[in-house]
Amino acid sequence: MWTLLKSLLLKWGALRVLWNAFGSLAFLLPIAFLLKMFGLPILMALAVLALPVFLVLAVIGLPIILVLVVGGGLLAVVFAALTFGMVVLKLLLPFILLYWVVKLMWRWVFGRGGDRSGPISSEPKPDTGS
């Protein structure tokens, strides 16, 4: 009986340690969700862009290590461009939206709308005598 209680307590303690270990990793869940939401589409785009390059290099008959090096380099360049583009978009998007809102408000307040021809004159145009 004593060994049964001892083994149950030991098992309960081990489960509690595991539970605490996994619970301490809970702060990584939002990062995992973001990576799943944005990382998978980026990886799919990279795969779609890199697959034709890999096939062309393989058809040409280049050694597989060269194909992998060139393909990996191109993949890195495309991923860097996507990353840089996302950073620029995150930085510029508030300014672009602010400009757009100010422009729309300006047109709404001053009533120009889409008309860019200027004020309408009631005077007739002069005759050039052609």
Taking residue 58's Cβ as centre, other Cβ atoms within 10 Å add up to 12
User: Which pair of structure tokens corresponds to residue 11?
Assistant: 């098992």
Total residue length of the chain: 130
Q: The dihedral of CA 15, 19, 22, 25: what is its sign?
A: negative
Largest CA-CA distance found in the chain, in angstroms, rounded: 121
pLDDT bucket at 8, cuts 50 / 70 / 90: low
pLDDT tens-place string over residues 23-63: 766 777 777 777 778 777 877 877 787 778 778 877 887 78
pLDDT of 69 reads: 84
Q: What is the pTM of this model?
A: 0.36
Instruction: Average the pLDDT over each of 7-16, 33-42, 70-79 and give the range with the smallest value.
Output: 7-16
